[in-house]
Homo-oligomer: A and B are copies of this chain.
Amino acid sequence: MLMRREVRAALEAMLFAAGRPLTVEELAQAVDMAAPDVRALLDELVLEYNEKGSGLLVAASGQGYLMCTSPEYAPYVKKILGPGEKRLSQAALETLAVVAYRQPVTRAEIEAVRGVRVDRTLASLLARGLVAEVGRKEVPGRPALYGTTVEFLRVFGMTSLDELPPADKED
């Protein structure tokens, strides 16, 4: 049986290494503890990282718990990582925006908003792992429903979809 301090450290190590949000269940299974106990420890970590003014952050989101850098140090991280990956095209960004704000959404629904066919753009977003099929719509033809992925969160630097900038405000 691990000591409490050790479990916390194990959780830290796992969150660090994964590079993606981990669910309480995954983590609980790994440390062989009950999920509620693990959740309590995780929430402690969230608070602690937040309070000590570290450059890192443990964030709880719908997808699970995630370790990432604090937003206030983003400019420094950007300097080290260099310029971002290749830019998404305008068509890809618009399609992605519709998926992000309307998910789950069918292809026909995206096309209705953008006023153009999106089959190729959607295929490339699926291939890049920014969008995934998340189900089928229960209407005749049962069209695929699309949603954003964890990779989407990673590329746009969010810990959860709640951080999507509000859609109705003009800028």
Q: Could you tell me which A residues sit within 8 Å of B by CB distance? A: 5, 8-14, 16-18, 22, 26-27, 29-31, 53-56, 67, 69-70, 72-74, 76-77, 79-81
Contacts and interface: CB of A to CB of B under 8 A. Distances in A.
A81 B9 contact: no
Copies of this chain, whole number: 2
Nearest to A74: B13
Interface centre among A22, A26, A27, A30 (most CB of B within 10 A): A30
B53 A14 contact: no
Contact of A76 (B5, B10, B54, B77): B10
Nearest to A18: B80
A5 B53 contact: yes
Contact of A16 (B9, B30, B56): B56
Contacts of A53: 5, 9
A35 to B, nearest CB: 15
Contact of A13 (B8, B13, B22, B76): B76
Contacts of A12: 54-56, 73
A80 B22 contact: yes
Contact of A81 (B17, B27, B67): B17
